[in-house]
Chains A and B, each alone.
Chain A
Amino acid sequence: MNVRLLKQGDEQEWHESFDLLWSIALSAAGRFLYIPPFSQQAREDVALQVMKEFVRLGINRCLDDDPESCGRWIWMRTSSRAIDFRRPRIVRRDGNQIELEDRVEMELEAHIEPVRISLEYLLDETIACLRLRRGRFSLLEEGILREILISGKLEREFAEEHGIPLGTVGRLVIQVKMKLRRFMRDEW
């Protein structure tokens, strides 16, 4: 997959990449929308929605020298969309608000396979995904996520070690938390 050609809108390249990207989107959707009432149609709807977004804007966030970034973008976007899709929703029926049953949620949770991967990989992958979203995720923010927010280093220690004012570190800690939430929720 040639990311540069995709960005240029090369139809041949898109044709050749479509099946792989579509399969990735369907596979991610299937992880969350596996059992009834979610059907193949629901999975395809979510996948199609994400593919449209990918064509319009996602491809521009991908890295020219990393073909895997296309699959990564589609995977995380579909996961986010699928979670949003199946989140218990309030539906209007005869003017009353009725909550979609939680039963589906519980069954889905039971279905999902436990993850067997290294913790380093989990964090690396999260950071790689954060870098693909709108707005930069800088090296300094990565340092703050790894060392202060995950590993528990004190803000003061981090500030002294890197020669950054304590106030700046404090502000960036809040910023990283907000970025993490916006990234994981459907707020792009």
Chain B
Amino acid sequence: MKFEMNFQDKAFLKLAAKVASSQATAEEQLDLEKLLHDHPRYEPEFLQLKQELRQDHKASLWLSALRVMLKTADPKEIKNIAALKQADPEQWREYQDAKEFTEALASREESVKTMKIQAMPDHVRKELLARLKASREHRNSLRADSR
């Protein structure tokens, strides 16, 4: 193919992507370490790739939580999520948060229907009204300034 990346860069990317997404074997892990040692210019590239994949993975976790609840996640996805508990507790925690948050959204209507109305404490009421007044005055002064 014309304009292709050079062979070594390509090999680095393939290896780095595997390691960064925890899909590499121990041997591949060692190969990458050697490559990084021999070619320090790859070090920042690897860190950036790792960060980008992690960001995307985190975003996907929230979607996975929704898919699991909506029963559209495939078995492989479910297996990957279950594996996080041991492999990456931080991401597992994030997945749990996503799941609980979604469950909470789904329970709103029922909870609001059955909850007891509690009077807002006076000090809270006063504080909120003061804030309301302040933000109204702020809005009015902005309007006056723009005239």
Alpha-carbon separation in the docked complex, A88 to B117 (Å): 31
B102 to chain A, nearest CB (A): 7
Measured between beta carbons, the chain A residues less than 8 angstroms from B71 are 119
Structural contact, A83 and B101, CB atoms closer than 8 A: yes
Shortest B49–chain A CB gap in Å is 16
The answer, among B66, B110, B131, B133, for a CB contact under 8 Å with A126, is B66
CB-defined contacts of B31 to chain A, threshold 8 Å:
none
**Roughly how many angstroms separate A87 CA and B105 CA in the complex, as a whole number?**
18
Given contacts A27-B115, A71-B108, A83-B101, contact A19 B129 (CB under 8 A): no
Residue of A nearest to B106 (CB): A122
**Contact between A126 and B58, CB atoms less than 8 A apart:** no
Would you call B25 an interface residue if the criterion is a C-beta within 8 Å of the partner chain's C-beta atoms?
A: no
B111-A27 in contact (CB<8A): yes
User: Bound state CA distance, A28 and B111, in angstroms?
Assistant: 8
Shortest Cβ gap from A116 to chain B (Å) = 8
Interface-side segment among A74-82, A154-162, A164-172: A74-82
Chain B residues within CB distance 8 Å of chain A? 56, 58-63, 66-67, 69-72, 93, 96-98, 100-112, 115-121, 124-125, 127-129, 131-133, 135-136
| Residues of A participating in the B interface, judged by any CB pair closer than 8 Å | 9, 11, 14-15, 18-24, 26-28, 31-32, 44, 48, 51-52, 55-56, 71-72, 75-76, 79-80, 83, 87-88, 109, 112-113, 115, 117, 119, 121-123, 125-126, 129, 149-152, 174, 177-178, 180-181, 184-185
